[in-house]
Amino acid sequence: MSQSYRTKNINSFLNKSKIINFKFNGESYLGYEGDTLASALIANGIHLVGRSFKYHRPRGFLGVGVEEPNAMVQLHEGDRSEPNIIATEVELVEGLIANSQNCWPSVKFDIGEVNNLLNRFFPAGFYYKTFMWPKSFWMKIYEPIIRRAAGMGVASLTPDPDRYEHNYEHCDVLVVGSGPSGLASALAAANNGAKVILAEDKAHFGGSLLTDEVMINNRPGTEWAEETIKHLKSLPNVILKNRSQVFGYYDHNMTVMFERVSDHIENPSKYAPRQRLHYIRAGEVIISTGSIERPLSFGNNDRPGIFLASAANEYMKIYETLVGKNPIIFTNNDTAYLSAIEFKKNNISPLVLDIRDSSSGDLVKEAQSLGIEVRFSSGVANTKGHLKVNKATIGKLNSSKDSFIDLEEINCDCICMSGGWTPTVHLSSQSGNKLKFDKNIDAFVPDKKKQKETTVGSANGSFTLKQSLEEGFQAGFDLSNLITLKNIKTEVPVSKESKTETHEKIWCMPLPDGENPKRFIDFQNDVAVSDVELAVREGFKSIEHIKRYTTLGMAGDQGKTSNLNGLQQVSNIQKKIVPEVGHTTFRPPYTPVTIGTIVGREVGNHFQPTRKTPTHKWHEENNAVYTNAGLWLRPRYYPRGNESMFEAVNREALNVRKNVGICDVTSLGKIDIKGPDSAELLNRVYTNAWMKLPIGKARYGVMLREDGMVFDDGTTTRLSENHFHMTTTTAQAANVLAHLEYYLQVVWPELKVNVVSSTEQFSGAAVAGPKSRDLMKKLFPNIDFSTENFPFMGVKDAEIVGVKAKIYRISFSGELAYEVNVDSNYGLFMWSEIIKAGEEFGIQPYGTEALATLRIEMGHVSGPELDGRAVPYDIGLHGMVSQKKDFIGKRSLEKLAYNDPERQTLVGLVPVDKKTKIPEGSHLVEDDKVKLPNPKLGHVSSSCWSVEYNNPFSIAVLKDGKNKIGKKLFAVAPLKNISILVEVVPPHYVDPKGERVRA
């Protein structure tokens, strides 16, 4: 039965010369270029696609585009496998593989279908009611069962091999949707000189013009559409994007659109992304998103083979596909007759059941004149057919249309239903537009706008072609003219269309006597009329509550086909009119968007920038293991041979203590400060005094936030009277710069100072250890390195083999140390020169681990101690706080709590067994056996293996720490079940008097 459901009529959209092979549920099928997965399956007579979410009922296709709630498939296999893809949105491509989801073991025999037989146990709010108690059952019993039973598709566990891109666009007018009103808007705006983007979700531009039988300027609507698109394409100020869905509308006219770039191409270009996300900032947005047909509710209206009438029409006209050969058309309005007529043109005689008592609309008359049987005051009560509809119970309605007079069962292979049209107001609602109810069309339309957006055409409830064109041309001209002021008007073409009569306000059929079949409203979330009735009966009044209790209109579908039928049902029961019931909020995305598209290129190494120092190549060649310090890659340690990290770190640290080591300190933040008030600025941002710092001298400084907490520390050097070089920690570099800019620009604009980051301009190497002076003498033979001439905190200009350098005698390791800075371009050169000259002194590079060991042994505070919760006193920095001057945060230090005599302070800890390492973050307690909560006295901030004493050593903040030296406490880490007896010692474990740095 290969493609036996193709129409006799042909069109220009399918390319029948290109046959495409694809697989569905393991079977091979054929389709044509231009098909969607949906149209190709239907052409092959395949209607059973998947199982429904809650009851596992067999489901097929309802629609033909984004409105499709049922036909979700698992697409592709392996690392490209993708769940929950709407089959109507998938263009057929050679070798496509699709599978049903939400069914087990197969779509035809699904075990979960017992849910359907037991459906009286799955009413609205079922999950809430059943699984409330006992709480402990949730994790172990209920949740796994629900997940297994309610699982949708399965995400691939391997990385996505495809590439996705982000793009930023700006335009004067964005037109969303290329139906008649969208084309009119784009044409009018473009002719008036505006920069226009026209976005169309489908592969073809034209919207309803491609399927409606209308005339524009005395030619078929399709021809006008084609001509208009050709003209727009020729204009340099227009971007046309098909396969592009605008799915989100955010503040300040920022809209987001995703484009399916390569999905439909058999062998996509290596250089093209799979999908692209466009951020479009538009001056004006014209929403011409059209409308979606409303389903009707009747018994078992969810069987495969039951379609929207417009979908059946589009399958025939665009995809040359018949949704059936023995159709029933069931409608409450005129537009469904288009499908009836199209069937007839393909020599198929449908039966039309019209809820109305009569209609003399043009289409109705045409259908009758073609010999199509039309029964008025009639409807469908129920259907039969396990995996596809094969019978319908139909009958005449009584005069009040709340029961059937007589019923008969007839054969059919499809039912095409129409409950009128719902304007697609999702985007205008997302923009903040309040909606209003239009009782002529029984639907919500945009009302008061919040942003620069205008809705036209059927999205605005204007269902005639004439109105759509007029609104489109008007909006396109008016809005573009606000921007271009060119006053170039485009003439509105003459249009001709069928006259229609009004619809009947009935969307739900009465139940047949003595039967209680489910009448579905929301197909995706399996919500039936009875669920809404139950929710209202149980006291839910607000539509937002009913939505959540029944799940009506939620998730990926966003109520595209179900929203109004749900509201109508609630209003029927509550005996209200729909606008009194109100409506729920539409949220982005309008249609599901792949995670890959949202993420774009920001995956793996591109997740964030990687910053490498100029010396990186050397580290690489010398076996460095890296750590991330902010965005920087810093060598953590340099293992030799089979060394473990522990061994390597101890070797590196010990070599600094005994000989000399070199450490790449380029990543430290550097800020160049210039201007006559530079010293004054430093005096205000640091806690200590700066006015009298001599030229050529460095000083250590501590900065606070206004709340008194330590913000950052570092050394700053006076290079000349009005020129300073500040260093910050690697982590706070950007924040310190922003902090200085804030005070200079906002708080003290009278200060004449300029600050600029110079982190990237200089490459730095710390040379530390007792032999560092000898090495420096060798490198800089013209400089006198005696302490008298070059004391601790001194600074000298120098040259290293002809390259200008600055030498700072500063130390983080606590050893005699120098830091050499050169222009970044010479960073690697300087490093190599130092290594070469240092060989005879036993120089070794050391990484951040050894650096940490050295500073912890010396009791120097760093990031773990400067955690934003410490005032200077807490971490032994109170000596740095000037009593004589004011500075940022000083007033906060007067707070009573910050002067509590028992306040925590910095201490050292040594395990009593001298062996057990103390995990960072451990809490300090008096007794590790008492009943919880055990009062916490402090916490361990940094831990290392002391290379000086060859035992573990930690620093910690401890309540009343200075009076606890010599005391024994427990360091506990309850999650790891660790308790270690520790002795409190002074934090300066090595060289407590600081003699080495001054040597």
* Contact residues: other proteins, CB under 8 A: 250-254, 279, 281, 432, 450, 684, 706-707, 738, 741-742, 745-747, 749, 885-887, 891-892, 894
Q: What is the dihedral of CA 444, 337, 288, 250, to 10 degrees?
A: 50
Tell me whether residue 450 or residue 486 sits nearer to other proteins (CB atom).
450
Cβ neighbourhood burial of 515 (10 Å; 0-12, 13-18, 19+)? exposed
Smallest CA-to-CA distance from 883 within 896, 869, 875, 894 is with 894
Tell me whether residue 373 or residue 886 sits nearer to other proteins (CB atom).
886
Tell me whether residue 706 or residue 799 sits nearer to other proteins (CB atom).
706
Tell me whether residue 432 or residue 921 sits nearer to other proteins (CB atom).
432
CB 445 within 8 A of CB 438: yes
Strand 904-911, strand 951-959: pairing: antiparallel
CA–centroid distance for 275 within its chain: 15
Tell me whether residue 439 or residue 606 sits nearer to other proteins (CB atom).
606
**CB 745, min distance to other proteins, A:** 5
Where in 69-163 does DSSP place strands (E)?
Answer: 72-75, 82-86, 96-100
Measure the CA–CA gap between 141 and 829, rounded to whole angstroms.
65
**CB 905, min distance to other proteins, A:** 23
Measure the CA–CA gap between 658 and 843, rounded to whole angstroms.
10
CB 259 within 8 A of CB 165: no
Angle between helices 848-857 and 645-658 (to 10 degrees): 60
**CB 682, min distance to other proteins, A:** 14
**CB 249, min distance to other proteins, A:** 12
Q: What is the dihedral of CA 676, 680, 685, 686, to 10 degrees?
A: 120
> How many Cβ atoms from other residues are within 10 Å of residue 588's Cβ?
17
**CB 430, min distance to other proteins, A:** 14
Tell me whether residue 587 or residue 936 sits nearer to other proteins (CB atom).
587
**CB 890, min distance to other proteins, A:** 9
CB 235 within 8 A of CB 229: no
Tell me whether residue 250 or residue 841 sits nearer to other proteins (CB atom).
250
Tell me whether residue 20 or residue 744 sits nearer to other proteins (CB atom).
744
Amino acid at position 228, single letter: T
Cβ neighbourhood burial of 227 (10 Å; 0-12, 13-18, 19+)? middle
Q: What is the dihedral of CA 502, 505, 508, 513, to 10 degrees?
A: -100
DSSP label at 935? P
* Bridge partners (DSSP) listed for residue 906: 957
**CB 728, min distance to other proteins, A:** 16
Amino acid at position 174, single letter: L
Cβ neighbourhood burial of 215 (10 Å; 0-12, 13-18, 19+)? middle
**CB 899, min distance to other proteins, A:** 13
Output b/e per residue, 726-756; b: 16+ Cβ within 10 A: bbbbbbbbeebbebbeebbeeeeeebebebe
**CB 428, min distance to other proteins, A:** 16
Measure the CA–CA gap between 908 and 987, rounded to whole angstroms.
4
Tell me whether residue 497 or residue 707 sits nearer to other proteins (CB atom).
707
**CB 879, min distance to other proteins, A:** 22
CB 753 within 8 A of CB 723: no
Tell me whether residue 514 or residue 749 sits nearer to other proteins (CB atom).
749
Structure tokens, 859: 């009791």
Tell me whether residue 231 or residue 281 sits nearer to other proteins (CB atom).
281
Tell me whether residue 223 or residue 706 sits nearer to other proteins (CB atom).
706
In three-state secondary structure terms, 954 is: strand
**CB 739, min distance to other proteins, A:** 11
Tell me whether residue 658 or residue 705 sits nearer to other proteins (CB atom).
705
User: What phi and psi values does residue 468 have, to the nearest 5 degrees?
Assistant: -60, -45
**CB 692, min distance to other proteins, A:** 18
**CB 770, min distance to other proteins, A:** 43
Structure tokens, 495: 């249009």
Measure the CA–CA gap between 995 and 215, rounded to whole angstroms.
97
**CB 434, min distance to other proteins, A:** 13
DSSP state letters, 828-886: HHHHHHHHHHHGGGT-EE--HHHHHHHHHHTT---TTT-SSS--GGGGT-GGG--SSS-
Structure tokens, 686: 């640091």
In three-state secondary structure terms, 565 is: helix
Tell me whether residue 38 or residue 685 sits nearer to other proteins (CB atom).
685
User: What phi and psi values does residue 145 have, to the nearest 5 degrees?
Assistant: -65, -45
Smallest CA-to-CA distance from 335 within 476, 514, 463, 162 is with 463
> How many Cβ atoms from other residues are within 10 Å of residue 95's Cβ?
10
Tell me whether residue 425 or residue 737 sits nearer to other proteins (CB atom).
737
Smallest CA-to-CA distance from 438 within 570, 291, 547, 555 is with 291
**CB 255, min distance to other proteins, A:** 10
Please calculate the CA angle 296-84-552 and round it to the nearest 5 degrees. 40
Tell me whether residue 157 or residue 746 sits nearer to other proteins (CB atom).
746
Tell me whether residue 330 or residue 590 sits nearer to other proteins (CB atom).
590
Residues 6 or more apart whose Cβ sits within 8 Å of residue 645: 625, 636, 637, 639, 849
In three-state secondary structure terms, 626 is: strand
Phi-psi region of 300 (alpha: psi -120 to 50; beta: other; left: phi over 0): left
**CB 254, min distance to other proteins, A:** 5
Tell me whether residue 784 or residue 886 sits nearer to other proteins (CB atom).
886
**CB 691, min distance to other proteins, A:** 14
**CB 244, min distance to other proteins, A:** 19
